[in-house]
DNA sequence: TTGAAAGCGGTACCAC
DNA sequence: GTGGTACCGCTTTCAA
């Protein structure tokens, strides 16, 4: 069923039918009612391609996903973030176009999307310093919002989590329990969020006049394996820590295993606060009696990014919108005080 | 840059330019070379909407994602499967259209996609018995491939993992180690794959004339929490099992925690084989020294689904293609023999 | 308030 | 080999 057929059935011109469907005021209410009824009856929906061609708006948002996101870090982003964003787009009548790309040809992918006219705007994930993508998108004039931010950059729209504050809170929580030696098990130092988490951790310690001990600060892959290895190293120290702030659930699983094998009970002999963006692991609360969690909802970030992007598409020349989300500190019962 | 502009620059008709670009044989090689060079120089790409409108093919594949996929089970599907599929689509010049939907309005979503002419085909996830979606897609004549299968259904194209065989292998592995009492910790019994896993497990036991003991077979949510609780229950039995086949990494994490707290060492006092589709947890091999894993690559399933779908789109009237993937048994070193 | 017709950017048939 | 032109399904100007 297309416009022409529908208008033929009704004996009204395509023009009027189109106007009735799109809510133009000049159509008589009687006609509109007729058209709407017929459209519903025949399950008519305007062909999106034709609409896009005629209006110049594709009503599609691009989500570019580098294949390197097999990588641990981007995995949760992929799922929950995208789900949140797509949901918001849908509410506003936009579709989501997923574009995979090699890590090296990311910039080209954006160029192509724009040249092919397939999207009205895009989201950029995990920006780096002086990000090529940002430069290209500006050059193309394609609306975009960045999820995360490159250290120091602030001349574009972005949505980010307040990682610094989250880790100040997490560290303070352990300090308040009386811990003096608190380890940090964090992601790779090239990542902006990991840098901010390092900052939050050191900030909290400095505020209590505790010296930073770099031998109990670790930055690397956020995997179970690394959490495990790191914890064993920490416990083997002459003066081992009594608690740790951990940057992801995957890491924390490794931490827990290492503690278990070393005979240390979490919440009694050793306290752990973890941070995670991915709610799925925490959803049923199974982690809470054991760990204390600082968590941010990646799905919510997706929704916000989408909202900002749609706003930018409608009003492209506005000054940068920069949204910082606060992470939530969830206090479980059994992360106990520091051993005396 | 569009066709008209490009043809003006070249002083050739749109028709010829289009033909040259699309590889039609009747164009002289000289002309084609000229056109190709100019296209590259000006970064010309045909507008997908116009192309779709003119050809009647949208070159887009729909991926419908019910919002209930916040649910644990569908989460890995979301990421790795979609990545695999999208990669394949891209190679063939197709784009991926992600459509979120409420669980209740899934069928309508397919109807709408078809009515709007936005996709050439779709993937259906996690089919149920007499699935409404399958019926509708057949009715619409929209090409589709199902990921998974409903018990007993076989009149459509699908790609599925050989869950039965995977669990026969997993169980046999433990039997070969000498275990006599092997528990099963599996997903909810309403799910087709869980049913098949139950079958595989019981099959393997029967083949060795071991009686099925339903008190050590568990079906429920595939979460850490349930893995933990179940394992505690198992260990509290009068005659506890000495090993377990576990249906997901999340469950296995709970199992490990329960064993740890009970002072049992994995691979010495208790053996575990886990099955998981999501490679990300296992990627660095951190689980292998501790668990033995039966794993299927969900990304690979995505690629295969995509291939089949593209094939079906090109040749819609072919008989059902039904692909069954074998899962891989990965033998770790420390899952030891049964205690004597 | 309604309708005819000219695009939007391509493809493909038909003639040359 | 190449070019003219109708058409894909919709929006939008212009006239009535």
Is B260 part of a structural domain of the chain?
yes
User: Which residues of B fall within a CB distance of 8 Å from A100?
Assistant: 83, 86-87, 90, 96
CA closest to C13 C1', residue: B15
Give me the CATH number covering residue B20. Answer: 1.10.260.40
Confidence of residue A151 (pLDDT cuts 50, 70, 90): confident
**Domain annotation covers residue B280:** yes
Whether A151 and A64 map to the same domain: the answer is yes
Q: What is the pLDDT of residues A238-293, one digit of tens each?
A: 999 999 999 988 899 899 889 988 989 888 899 999 998 876 666 554 444 456 77
- Of A4, A125, A286, A287, which to mutate for an interface test with B (greatest number of B Cβ within 10 Å)? A286
- pLDDT score, position B331: 66
Asked whether residue A19 is domain-assigned, the answer is yes
CA distance, residue A210 to nearest chain B CA (Å)? 33
Per-residue pLDDT at A81? 87
Q: Quick one: what percent of chain A has pLDDT higher than 70? A: 90
Nearest-Cα distance to chain A for B127, in Å, is 20
Give the model confidence (pLDDT) of A93-137 as tens digits: 999 999 988 878 888 999 999 999 999 999 998 888 888 999 999
Same domain? B167 vs B261: yes
How much is the pLDDT for B160? 94
Task: Identify the pLDDT of residue B296.
Answer: 82
User: Whole-prediction pTM value?
Assistant: 0.90
DSSP of B20-44:
HHTT-TTS-HHHHHHHHHHHHHTT-
Number of domains in chain A: 3
Q: Please indicate, yes or no, whether residues A203 and A236 belong to a single structural domain of this protein.
A: yes
Sign of torsion over alpha carbons B157, B162, A281, B103? positive
Cβ-Cβ contacts under 8 Å, A43 against chain B: 111, 115
Same domain, A208 and A267: yes
Helices B29-41 and B3-10, axial angle in degrees (round to 10)? 120
CA distance linking residue B127 with residue B153, whole number of Å: 10
Tell me: do B157 and B167 sit in the same domain.
no
Q: Distance between CA atoms of B243 and B339, rounded to whole angstroms? A: 10
B225 and A256 in contact by Cβ < 8 A? Answer: no
Same domain, B37 and B124: no
Which CATH number is B96's domain given?
3.40.50.2300
Strand A328-330 to A292-295 pairing: antiparallel
Size of interface A-B (CB pairs under 8 A): 159
Contact check, Cβ <8 Å, B83/A65: yes
Of A112, A228, A260, which is closest to B260 when you measure between CB atoms?
Answer: A260
Looking at the structure, do residues A171 and A278 belong to the same domain, yes or no? yes
Residues listed for chain A: 340
Question: Residue A24: what pLDDT?
Answer: 92
Q: What is the pLDDT of residues A325-336, one digit of tens each?
A: 999 887 754 455
Supply the range of the domain harboring residue A7. Answer: 3-46
Nearest CB to A100: which of B47, B87, B97? B87
In this structure, the strands spanning B182-186 and A121-125 are: unpaired
Q: What residues of chain A lie within 8 A of the CB of B284, using their CB?
A: 221, 223-225
Q: Could you give the strand order of the β-sheet that contains A121-125, starting from the edge strand earlier in sequence?
A: A322-325, A158-161, A144-147, A121-125, A60-66, A95-101, B95-101, B60-66, B121-125, B144-147, B158-161, B322-325
Burial A213-247 (b: 16+ CB within 10 A, else e): eeebbbbbbbbbbbbbbbbbebbeeeebbbbbbbb
Q: What are phi and psi of B31, to 5 degrees?
A: -60, -45
A67 and B87: CB-CB below 8 Å?
A: yes
Residue B45: which of A1, A46, A115 has the nearest Cβ?
A115
Q: Are A333 and A174 in contact (CB under 8 A)?
A: no
B171-193 burial code (b ≥16 CB/10 A, e <16):
bbbbbebebebbbbbbbeeebbb
**Of A49, A112, A250, which is closest to B53 when you measure between CB atoms?**
A49
Q: Which residue is nearest to nucleotide C6 (CA to C1')?
A: A54
CA B303 to CA B90: how far, in whole Å?
A: 11
Low-confidence ranges of chain B (pLDDT < 70): 68-77, 279-291, 331-340
């Amino acid at each position: 069923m297309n416009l022409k057929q529908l208008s033929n059935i009704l004996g009204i011109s395509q023009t009027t039918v189109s106007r009735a469907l799109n809510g133009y005021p000049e159509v008589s209410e009687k006609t509109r009612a007729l058209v709407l009824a017929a459209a519903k009856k025949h399950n008519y929906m305007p062909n999106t391609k034709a609409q896009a061609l005629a209006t110049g708006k594709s009503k599609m948002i691009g989500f570019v996903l580098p294949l390197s996101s097999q990588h641990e870090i981007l995995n949760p982003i992929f799922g929950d973030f995208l789900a949140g964003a797509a949901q918001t787009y849908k509410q506003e009548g936009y579709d989501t176009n997923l574009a995979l790309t090699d890590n090296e040809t990311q910039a080209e992918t954006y160029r192509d999307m724009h040249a092919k006219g397939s999207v009205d705007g895009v989201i950029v994930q995990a920006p780096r310093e002086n990000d090529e993508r940002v430069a290209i998108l500006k050059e193309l004039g394609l609306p975009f919002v960045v999820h995360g931010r490159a250290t120091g950059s602030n001349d574009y729209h972005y949505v980010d989590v307040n990682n610094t504050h989250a880790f100040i809170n997490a560290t303070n929580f352990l300090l308040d329990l009386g811990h003096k030696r608190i380890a940090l098990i964090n992601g790779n130092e090239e990542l902006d969020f990991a840098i901010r988490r390092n900052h939050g951790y050191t900030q909290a310690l400095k505020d209590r006049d505790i010296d930073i001990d770099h031998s109990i600060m670790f930055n690397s892959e956020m995997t179970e394996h690394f959490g495990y290895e790191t914890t064993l190293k920490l416990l083997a120290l002459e003066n081992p820590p009594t608690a740790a702030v951990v940057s992801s659930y995957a890491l924390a699983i490794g931490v827990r295993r290492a503690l278990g094998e070393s005979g240390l009970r979490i919440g009694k002999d050793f306290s752990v606060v973890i941070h995670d963006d991915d709610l799925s692991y925490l959803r049923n609360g199974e982690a809470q009696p054991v760990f204390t969690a600082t968590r941010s909802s990646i799905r919510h970030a997706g929704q916000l990014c989408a909202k900002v992007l749609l706003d930018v598409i409608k009003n492209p020349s506005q000054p940068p919108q920069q949204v910082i989300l606060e992470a939530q500190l969830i206090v479980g019962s059994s992360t106990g005080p520091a051993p005396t």
